[in-house]
Amino acid sequence: MDALKGFKTIAGVALFMVALQLFNAVTGYSLMAFGLVPRTVHGLFGIITSPFLHASFAHLSANLIPFLILGTLVIVEGLNRFLAVSAIIILLGGALVWLFGFTGVHIGASGWVFGLWAYLLARAWFRKSWGNLLTAGVVALFYGGLVFGFLPRQGVSFEGHIFGALAGFVAAKVLLSAPRSRLNAAR
């Protein structure tokens, strides 16, 4: 996939989030009913929908720029890779929030962003190359402050951040680590 096509895909997802936010604001934030509510049956659907919903335009804008940048860095590997990484982050990270998150509605793409961040850092570990190492270095330099998102704060789903990052690491481990049989054969 060429870089322009990949960026168009990421931009399309971002525009979808903006359209949802506009609809949500116009309807008095009626879409909050589709957020992730831990340990409830109706909250299970929120595992899939919550990354696309935001509490305000400020919340959305805080997630959009890192999503555009980190998502583009992942989609350079191809659309299928981006979809697989995103699916693992959204489903695993969301399931962990559903199991262990605080009581309340969890929404926003920040878990996804933290997952993409962790995936890009872990990619340098599992697929050692100068390009991956350089990317991880730049990501760590510009987004190293994300680690403060792991700290509990009122009104912030720090569990979403932690479990999103964990899911991003798992995505890298599952998708990038060499199969054991190849490792053993090389020794």
Would you call 86 exposed, middle or buried from its count of C-beta atoms within 10 A (0-12, 13-18, 19+)? buried
Give the residue extent of every domain in the chain: 3-186
At residue 155's C-alpha, the angle toward residues 153 and 157, to 5°, is 75
Return d(Cα 171, Cα 36) in angstroms, integer.
21
pLDDT in tens, the chain (187 residues): 577 888 899 999 999 999 999 999 999 999 999 999 999 999 999 999 999 999 999 999 999 999 999 999 999 999 999 999 999 999 999 999 999 999 999 999 999 999 999 999 999 999 988 988 888 888 888 887 777 766 666 667 789 999 999 999 999 999 998 665 544 444 4
> CATH assignment of 3-186, given 3.30.460.80, 1.10.10.10, 1.20.1540.10, 2.40.40.20?
1.20.1540.10
| Number of neighbours of residue 25 by Cβ within 10 angstroms | 15
Give the angle subtended at the CA of 28 by the CAs of 27 and 32, to the nearest 5°: 95
For the stretch 95-108, pLDDT in tens is 999 999 999 999 99
Residue type, 146: L
pLDDT tens per residue, range 41-82 = 999 999 999 999 999 999 999 999 999 999 999 999 999 999
Q: Which helix (H) or strand (E) holds 89?
A: none
CA-to-CA separations, 13 to 61, 66, 111, 124, 173, in angstroms, rounded: 14, 13, 15, 26, 25
Token pair, residue 96, equals 């962990």
